[in-house]
Chain A
Amino acid sequence: MTAYTATVTVRLKRGVLDPEAETTKRSLERLGFELSGLRSADRFEIDLEADSPAAAKETATEMTERLLANPTIHDYEVSVAAAGQS
Chain B
Amino acid sequence: MTVAVVQFGGSNCDRDAVRALTHLGIDAKRVWHEDGLPSETTGVILPGGFSYGDYLRAGAMAARSPIMNEIRSAAEAGTPVLGVCNGAQIGCESGLTEGAFTTNKRARFQCEPVYLRVERADTPWTAAYEAGDVIEVPIAHGEGRFEITDERYDRLEADDRILFRYCAPDGSVTEAANPNGSIGNVAGILGESNHVAVLMPHPERATLPDIGGTDGAGVLRAFA
B: residues with CB less than 8 A from A are: 56-57, 60, 64, 92-93, 98-100, 102-107, 145, 147-149, 181
Contact = CB atoms under 8 A, between A and B. Distances in A.
A73 B100 contact: yes
Contacts of A20: 103, 107
B100 A68 contact: no
Contacts of A68: 56
Interface of A: 16-20, 22-23, 66-68, 70, 72-73
A35 B141 CA distance: 30
B64 A67 contact: yes
B57 to A, nearest CB: 6
A67 B56 contact: yes
A61 B100 CA distance: 21
A70 B60 CA distance: 9
17 contacts: A17-B105, A18-B103, A19-B104, A19-B106, A19-B107, A19-B145, A20-B103, A20-B107, A22-B107, A67-B56, A70-B60, A70-B93, A70-B100, A72-B92, A72-B99, A73-B100, A73-B102
Please report whether the interface of chain B is mostly helix, strand, loop or mixed according to DSSP.
loop
A44 to B, nearest CB: 10
A22 B57 CA distance: 18
A3 to B, nearest CB: 25
B147 A19 contact: no
B57 A70 contact: yes
Contacts of A66: 64
Contact of B147 (A22, A67, A73): A73
Interface centre among A23, A66, A70, by most chain B C-beta atoms within 10 angstroms, is A70
Contacts of A17: 105, 145, 147, 181
Contacts of A19: 103-107, 145, 181
A37 B222 CA distance: 47
Given A66-B64, A67-B60, A23 B107 contact: yes
A72 B148 contact: yes
A46 to B, nearest CB: 14
A22 B100 CA distance: 20
B110 to A, nearest CB: 12
A35 to B, nearest CB: 18
Contacts of B100: 70, 72-73
A22 B60 CA distance: 23
B100 to A, nearest CB: 4
A17 B145 CA distance: 10
Given A19-B107, A72-B149, 10 more contacts: A17-B105, A17-B147, A19-B104, A19-B106, A66-B64, A67-B60, A70-B60, A70-B93, A72-B92, A72-B98
B102 to A, nearest CB: 6
Nearest to B59: A70
Contacts of B93: 70
Contacts of B57: 70
